[in-house]
Amino acid sequence: MKAMIGFIIVVIFGILILFNLKLEFGGESGIAGEMYIEKGVSETGAVNLVSAILANYRAYDTLGETIIFFIAILGVFTVLKGDKK
Amino acid sequence: MSSRIVETATDIVTPFMILFGVYIIINGHLTPGGGFQGGVILGSCALLIYVVFGIKRHNKNLSIFENIGALIFLFIGVLGIFFGGFLFSNFITKGTPGNLLSGGTIPFINLAIGLKIGAGFAILFFIILQYIERGD
């Protein structure tokens, strides 16, 4: 019964999303994207634009990723290295 | 547990895997790749060694490398505050795009991330294999 209710809710909201939000996939690049393409090489000096964004424009994001990776190691360590009962 | 054929093949392949990982890290600002990708290759090299030769080859000091990588990464970011004005600013001269020594701080950040991710994956595989070897 609960599964049926959940399924109906998912179908109703799916139809609403499909017909009300006109999602466009792969549209024009925004202002930030054009800025990266135009000024990326001259501002960072790196030919690889992905690396330029990851390590220079969005290095803050990369810092967060490394912290998440560290926390993942901590979690595995805590779960698997614990004493056997 | 593994046969001599597997051990010999691992002996031959492992140096090239390490070389490829370091190449991916160092050329991160020129070709597709970077710190994360090269670090994962280094970590999978450690996994190969653990599977073939057993986890007794594990270096207990590996976590120090991970910490050093993270600290270098943060240190470069904090240096950017003093020399460039904001966190992770690119304060070194950029050089000519396309050369190996170009991109300012990007190659150094890639090296630090590669060290951190490679050591981190090695530790992760070590913990999981140790858990499997210990039994349930």
Residues of B in contact with A51 (CB under 8 A): 28-29, 33-34, 103, 106, 110
List CB contacts of A58: < 8 A, sequence separation 6 or more.
none
ipTM: 0.83
Distance CA B11, CA A81 (A): 30
pLDDT tens across B45-77, in order?
999 999 998 888 788 888 899 999 999 999 999
Query: Cβ distance B9 to B53 under 8 Å?
Result: no
In a domain, A70, yes or no: yes
Half-sphere exposure of residue A42: CA atoms within 13 angstroms, side-chain side: 4
CA A41 to chain centre: 24
Going by the DSSP 8-state scheme, the letter that residue B57 receives in this structure is G
* Residue numbers of the domain that contains A54: 30-85
- Specify the pTM: 0.82
When pLDDT is cut at 50, 70 and 90, the band that residue A23 belongs to is: low
The total domain count for chain A is 1
pLDDT tens across B16-32, in order?
999 999 999 999 888 88
Distance CA B117, CA B113 (A): 6
What does the pLDDT average to over A23-39? 77
In a domain, A72, yes or no: yes
Res A82: pLDDT: 65
What does the pLDDT average to over A64-75? 91
The residue among B60, B81, B127, B130 with the most chain A CBs within 10 A of its CB, best to mutate, is B127
Domain spans, chain B = 4-134
